[in-house]
Amino acid sequence: MDRLSVAIIGCGPAGLAAGLLLARQGHEVAIFDQFASPGPVGSGLMIQPTGLAVLDQLGLAEEVVRRGARIDALQGIEEHGRCVLDAPYAALGLQGAFGIGIHRASLFDALHAAALRQSGITIHAGHAVTGSTCDASGRRLTFADREPSASFDLVIDASGWRTHFDPAPKGILPFGALWASLPVEPGDPFAGNLLEQRYRRAAQMAGVLPIGTRTEVSMPEVAFFWSLKVEDHAAWCDTPLEEWKAEVSRLWPDLEGLLARITTREQLTFARYAHRTHPGPVGERMIAIGDAWHSASPQLGQGANMALLDAWSLARGLAEGRTLAEKLRLAAGWRRDHVWLYQWVTRLFTPLYQSESRYLPAIRDRALAPLSRRWPAKGIQARLMSGLFGFPLAPLGLAAPDYEGLAASASRISLAASALPQS
């Protein structure tokens, strides 16, 4: 394969994974990020079996399993205590399968440290990309406050949903969410292996996701989230914190202890979500991957996993196609159906959990919940949640990881680390 000079815009999961995979193929990779010191913003996320399959190929699955929290099921309970969502990974029928709740910082650290160790990658912080020009010599990046870059054979847009390269409106969703990472304390009433949610119709949702430990010696944490309409955020900022906490506790009384650990508004980050799909992810010497190609509400917890699959597909396309245009077409083509499917499924499911409709949550609780406990709906629901609906791995030459082996070796390493004297 020809050795390409590649520029990647964005140091998120998509950009870092693509950078690692391409540098390992022998390409010369330069990653540009706007932040003075690249790092993740926000709290936790779910790594699904799809994302774990790519991390496994990168040699990072064990670290992610060790630093994150093993999640065996997603459980949702409505305001009167009825369980209306029970999606165990066991229903996948894959030996020992699980998801991983992880702090964004832990996922970022694993990918970033691997990129720093990998020869052939340079990371340029403080480079806010504003656009790009293409001529016979290649593609250059333009920046907000500096001279254009040298020419690259290929530019990868991994700059997330606010990308400059898709001029279409961003499709901001009416509901966003407040997020906080909070320490776990002994006696907390949460199951360490569940993503738990509570709903009042679809207008209010609180959730707790165990996200493991950020470092070998830090305390385990959970990500707490509370859905909030974008237009109500300003009013929330003016509401006394204790008044808001009382409202959350009315929906989920067991949260009182956790909420007591929120003492300032600054502990909470308000995240907005955009639902959009770039109509043309492939251009001349250019491809969009991850959220820059497609973004959606995190209701199904797929974004980072889709980003990892896109990065893998791109590396495979570069290895297999003859011309650069064909390589990029192949890369996008292998992902297109799965992306389309999940964009639609997420669009359909999100209003069941985040909307002001009275009918949709009633349908969710009275029709979909009982149905989802039956065969074959239980298996379909598990496939949807895990990212495996639509069979995305086979066309990419990926297989589900060896979960039992991963879990066993991650716990062996954790035990060995905890036996070390701590400074």
Residue whose CB is less far from ligand FAD, 115 or 365: 115
15 part of the interface to ligand FAD, by CB under 6 A: yes
Tokens of 302: 């797929």
Q: How many angstroms separate the Cα of 68 from the Cα of each of 45, 64, 224, 295?
A: 10, 6, 15, 24
* Helix H or strand E segment including 138: strand 138-143
Fill in the DSSP letter of residue 297.
-
Among 20, 84, 121, 129, binds ligand FAD (CB under 6 A): 129
Chain-centre distance for alpha carbon 93: 24
Residue whose CB is less far from ligand FAD, 37 or 323: 37
- Nearest-angstrom CA–CA distance, 117 and 105: 18
12 part of the interface to ligand FAD, by CB under 6 A: yes
- Nearest-angstrom CA–CA distance, 372 and 151: 53
Among 7, 10, 65, 299, binds ligand FAD (CB under 6 A): 10
> Minimum distance from CB of 80 to ligand FAD (Å)?
27
* DSSP structure string for 82-122: -EEEEEEGGGG-STT--EEEEEHHHHHHHHHHHHHHSTTEE
* Helix H or strand E segment including 238: helix 233-238
> Minimum distance from CB of 64 to ligand FAD (Å)?
12
- Tokens 């320490």 — which residue? 183
What does the per-residue mask of binding to ligand FAD show for 40-79, with x meaning CB under 6 A? --x--xx---------------------------------
Q: Is the peptide bond before 376 cis (omega within 30 degrees of 0)?
A: yes
How many residues form the binding site for ligand FAD (CB under 6 A)? 36
User: Between residue 261 and residue 320, which ones bind ligand FAD under the rule CB under 6 A?
Assistant: 271, 290-292, 298, 301-305, 307
Residue whose CB is less far from ligand FAD, 48 or 355: 48
Residue whose CB is less far from ligand FAD, 46 or 330: 46
31 part of the interface to ligand FAD, by CB under 6 A: no
> Minimum distance from CB of 45 to ligand FAD (Å)?
3
172 part of the interface to ligand FAD, by CB under 6 A: no
Among 5, 25, 34, 75, binds ligand FAD (CB under 6 A): 34
- Nearest-angstrom CA–CA distance, 204 and 228: 7
14 part of the interface to ligand FAD, by CB under 6 A: yes
End-to-end, the C-alpha distance of the chain in Å comes to 48
> Minimum distance from CB of 147 to ligand FAD (Å)?
15
Residue whose CB is less far from ligand FAD, 89 or 365: 89
What are the beta bridge partners of residue 179? 225, 269
- Nearest-angstrom CA–CA distance, 56 and 128: 31
HSE (side-chain half, CA atoms, 13 Å) at 413: 12
What does the per-residue mask of binding to ligand FAD show for 76-95, with x meaning CB under 6 A? --------------------
> Minimum distance from CB of 345 to ligand FAD (Å)?
14
- Tokens 């010599």 — which residue? 137
From 90-98, 110-118, 158-166, 181-189, give the range in contact with ligand FAD by CB under 6 A.
158-166
- Nearest-angstrom CA–CA distance, 74 and 52: 17
HSE (side-chain half, CA atoms, 13 Å) at 93: 8
Residue whose CB is less far from ligand FAD, 33 or 221: 33
Tokens of 87: 């999606």
Which residues here bind ligand FAD, judged by CB under 6 A? 9-15, 32-35, 38, 42, 45-46, 127-129, 158-160, 162, 164, 177, 179, 271, 290-292, 298, 301-305, 307
